[in-house]
Structure 1
Amino acid sequence: MKTILSAILMVVFSIGIQAQSRLENAKKQAAENNELILLNFSGSDWCIPCIKLHKNIIETEDFKKLETENVIVYINADFPRNKKNQLSPDLKKENASLADQYNPKGLFPYTLLLSPEGKILKSWEGLPSENVLAFSKEIRDIKDHQKQ
């Protein structure tokens, strides 16, 4: 009986570690490079505002500069519905864990700017009203304010 209980606890513990690996890696990278974390919850194949957010902001060169210039570490927690777009079981668990922690209301799209410690600095419910340049500038301004 102890062996079974130990095995169950090990599995639960290992799932908990796996479930936070992207966030933990992002926290580590953000701390090392003085970056912030941008966490986006999306439904990539069913949520029209999510699709617009990715097309008009996240997939643009101006947004990608935030990553290449060490302003942010980007994490997308996607919840696709179509069978052909399904994620691996591990990634599904990780996204569910991120949603439990940061998006308990299940909003889509929902974007959070986090400190390297995981503290929420800013959130956007739905499609941001700003264009990509204003959105990027707001993130840069928050990062610059964090340095002070």
Structure 2
Amino acid sequence: MKKIVFVCIFALVSILTKAQDTKLEWHTDIKKAIQLSQQEKKPLFLFFTGSDWCGWCIRLQKEVFQQPEFGIWAKENVILVELDFPRRKALAPEIQQTNNQLMQLFGVRGYPTVWFVNATEKEGKVNFEKLGSSGYVAGGPEVWLKGANQILKNVK
């Protein structure tokens, strides 16, 4: 009986530890994300989403972004930025304004849209080098990451 309890506790601790290891940090402050991108020499992953109303966005989150494979890949390859356009929750006015400006800059017409970009700052102005974009792709993390890696392979 003690062995069973010990094994169950060990399994639970292992699962919780793994869940924490793959917990992703989604930035909402583009300026901080750009600084981090430059420090870590990783491109930005701009996720344009309607988090509380867009069915395809929610599906992409569940099928890909919340999966351990994506978490491992993201930590190694990109700086995650969520640019949200919710309908039922309010964003801070400065975040809402920045998100709208970036939506226009990247010509986002639908959600979800993901842009991979490099950002450089010169004399207080930010320049974005577009590397490629994606959206919802059926097939889970393996298929989605294959496309993302195609975009990023031209960068390295």
The normalised TM-score by structure 1 is: 0.70
Which amino acid counterpart does residue 75 of structure 1 have in structure 2? Answer: V
Match of 2:118 among 108, 115, 118: 115
CA contact (8 A) 1:40 1:109 kept: yes
For structure 1, the residue ranges without an aligned partner over 5 or more in a row are: 1-20
Aligned CA-pair RMSD? 2.1
Distance 1:138 1:127 in 2: 11
Cα distance change, pair 119–134 in 1 and its aligned pair in 2 (3 A): same
What displacement does 1:75 show?
A: 0.7
CA contact (8 A) 2:37 2:79 kept: yes
- Does the alignment pair 1:128 with 2:137? yes
For structure 2, the residue ranges without an aligned partner over 5 or more in a row are: 1-27, 121-127
Question: CA offsets per residue over residues 74-127 of structure 1, 9 Å max, x none?
Answer: 111111111xx2222222112112112113x53111111112442111112x42
Q: Who is 2:82 aligned against?
A: 76
What displacement does 1:41 show?
A: 0.8
* Count of paired positions: 122
- In the TM superposition, structure 1's runs of 4+ consecutive aligned residues that sit over 6 Å from their partners are none
Q: Who is 1:9 aligned against?
A: none
- Does the alignment pair 1:62 with 2:65? no
Q: Which of the two has greater helix per residue?
A: 1
Look up the SS of the partner of 2:51 in the other structure.
coil
Name the larger-Rg structure.
Answer: 2
CA contact (8 A) 2:131 2:152 kept: no
Cα distance change, pair 43–73 in 1 and its aligned pair in 2 (3 A): same
Which amino acid counterpart does residue 78 of structure 2 have in structure 1? Answer: I
Distance 2:149 2:40 in 1: 14
The normalised TM-score by structure 2 is: 0.67
Higher relative CO (CA 8 A, sep ≥ 6), structure 1 or 2? 1
> What percentage of aligned pairs have identical amino acids?
24
Which amino acid counterpart does residue 53 of structure 1 have in structure 2? Answer: L
Question: CA offsets per residue over residues 45-72 of structure 1, 9 Å max, x none?
Answer: 1111111011111122211213322x10
